[in-house]
Amino acid sequence: MFAHPKGLLGRIGAAAMLRRSEASYRWVAEILDLDSTDRFLDVGCGPGGLLRVAREAGADVVGVDSSPEMVRLVRRAGIDAHCAVAEHLPMADGSFSAACAMHTIDFWESRIAGLIELRRVMRPTGRVCIVVRSLDEQARPWNPSKHGFSDADLKALRTTLDAAGYADTRSNERTVDGEQLVALTSTAT
């Protein structure tokens, strides 16, 4: 349902994402220090919650999602959105000063290709934030953290960021709505 949301279940999932994720959207905007000087891209934007928070911070915002249903929802909110995947972004080189992929990197066909493509559309020294859930083996089966990133997964993701041409990767952790989140923030070089 969340990889390619569509139809009634997709809309129900979108409403749940917006309600449940408000605190995490604000956390990411804070980490990226978004303001009116930024042009911000959300890769895998879903229903646009992070885009709305970034717009409130003054940023010029654009979203991409592989789901036409999610793109329609974002456009209804008056936000520029495109149906696309991380590996093939329909934007010009150097278009963005900040970007985020929140809980979506697992759905990418190729992490390295998606990160290289994301770097292409970033301005030099642009800020990129990849947000994932930490693995919680004790979590209930329906909790997404049950399938989160282990320490080894996070180390591999850092290595992939380095290989894709990012620098100065920092890790921020926070528990939001009962989930331990990790934000890896890097600079496009």
Question: Tens digits of per-residue pLDDT, 27-71?
Answer: 999 999 999 999 999 999 999 999 999 999 999 999 999 999 999
Helical (H) or strand (E) element with 183: strand 179-188
Mean pLDDT score across all residues of the chain = 90
Cα–Cα distances in angstroms (integers) from residue 7 to residues 10, 46, 47, 59, 69, in the given order: 5, 14, 13, 30, 7
1, part of any domain = no
Residues in the chain: 189
Tokens read off for 126: 């642009």
pLDDT category, 1, cuts 50, 70, 90? Answer: very low
Cα–Cα distances in angstroms (integers) from residue 87 to residues 25, 30, 107, 140, in the given order: 23, 26, 11, 33
What one-letter code names the amino acid at 165?
Answer: G
Tell me how many helices (H) and strands (E) the chain has.
6, 7
Residue 173 has pLDDT above 70, yes or no: yes
Instruction: Pick the more confident residue, 65 or 143.
Output: 65
Per the structure, how many domains does the chain have? 1
The boundaries of the domain holding residue 180 are 7-188
Residue 131 has pLDDT above 90, yes or no: yes
Which sign does the torsion angle of CA 71, 1, 156, 180 carry? positive
The answer to whether residues 94 and 122 touch, using CB atoms and an 8 Å cutoff, is yes
* pTM attached to this predicted model: 0.89
41, part of any domain = yes
CATH value at residue 72: 3.40.50.150
Angle, alpha carbons 145-175-114 (nearest 5°): 60
The answer to whether residues 131 and 100 touch, using CB atoms and an 8 Å cutoff, is yes
The answer to whether residues 59 and 34 touch, using CB atoms and an 8 Å cutoff, is yes
Residue 141 has pLDDT above 80, yes or no: no
User: β-strands 122-133, 96-102: how paired?
Assistant: parallel
User: For residues 143 and 176, what is the distance between their CA atoms, to the nearest angstrom?
Assistant: 13
173, part of any domain = yes
